[in-house]
Amino acid sequence: MRGFVRQLLTIAGKDLRLELRSRERLVSMMTFAVLVAVVFSFSLDPGVEARTVAGAMLWVTILFAGMLGLGRSFALEREQDAMMGILLAPLDRGALFLGKLIANLALLLATEVAVFVVFALFFQLSYWKTLGSVILVVVLASVGFMILGTLFSAMAAGTRLGETLLPVLILPLLMPVVIYAASSTQRLIVGRPFAEVAGSVRVLVVFDLIFLIVSILLFGAVVEE
């Protein structure tokens, strides 16, 4: 068990260290997210109150920025076939999956901070009253997003189409996350109490747990040859 944790932290630490050096993914995800916010502000009719559609805008932005990052998730491993080196090590495939998941999740959460700040500035949103609940919803939905994202980006990396295939594969599967995350975020932004989104939060937890287990079990079949 200690070996398992050490291995997954080694993988996650390596990914994050590399990302801190190059900042490729983080910069492209954040730039993209801010640009989407700009696009939204110019494409929304001035008569529409942004607050009433903020949940949808935020999650559309997060989904696509996240997918942009996932597309590069396994790029570093391809360069000198480091994935082969990792697979040759006495490493539990579940630890490899969790390590990758943690690194991807950290990047997404960092991007989400930027997304929420920028949207607050551009659309005069305020999350202070329900900040704790908003964070809870965003983290749970992001975990679900990245669980399927990590699993499928590993598969997409092994195909001819690469990252272009990723949205086609995971968007239909992510619909529960989208529905509950967007509606909960929307409600919390307009100041509704947490009790109103408690049911959604429960489903998100169920989604995360189910796919965490399924993905850990299936990941071996993704990376094996």
Partner 1 sequence: MREEARLSPPGVIQPTAAVAAVGVEKWYGVYPALRGVDFEISSGDFVTIFGPNGAGKTTLLRLLAGALRPTRGEIRLGGAPLDYDEPAWRARIGVLSHQTFLYGQLTAAENLRFYGRLYGLAKLDGLIERRLAEVGLWDRRDDRARGFSRGMQQRLALARTLLHDPELVLLDEPYTGLDAHAARMLRRVLEQLKDGNRTVVLVTHNLAEGLELADRVVVQVAGRWVSDEPRSAIDAVEFEQLYTARVGGAE
Partner 2 sequence: MNDVVESQESTRRWAVILSAISGLSVLATFWLIFFYVPTEREMGIVQRIYYVHVPSAWVAFLAFGIVALCSLVYLWIRDDRLDAIALSSAELGLVFTTIVLITGPLWGKIAWGVWWVWDARLSLTLLLWFIYVGYFMLRGATENPERGKRFAAILGIVGAVDIPLIHVSVLWFRSQHPQPVVLRAEGPTADPEIVKTLLFSFLTFTIVFFALLLLRYGLERLQRRVDAATFRAATRSSSINSQGAVR
Chain residues binding partner 2 by CB under 8 A are 148, 151, 155, 158-161, 165, 168-169, 171-173, 175-176, 179-180, 183, 199, 203, 206-207, 210-211, 214-215, 218, 221-222, 224-225
| Shortest distance in whole angstroms from residue 118 CB to partner 2 | 27
Among 5, 38, 84, 213, binds partner 1 (CB under 8 A): 84
DSSP label at 188? H
Residue 3 is a binding residue for partner 1 (CB under 8 A): yes
| Shortest distance in whole angstroms from residue 135 CB to partner 2 | 22
Structure tokens belonging to residue 208: 């995360």
Residue 221 is a binding residue for partner 1 (CB under 8 A): no
- Angle among Cα 214, 132, 13 to the nearest 5 degrees reads 50
Residue numbers of the site for partner 1 (CB under 8 A)? 3, 6-7, 10-11, 14, 17-18, 21-22, 76, 79-82, 84-92, 220, 224-225
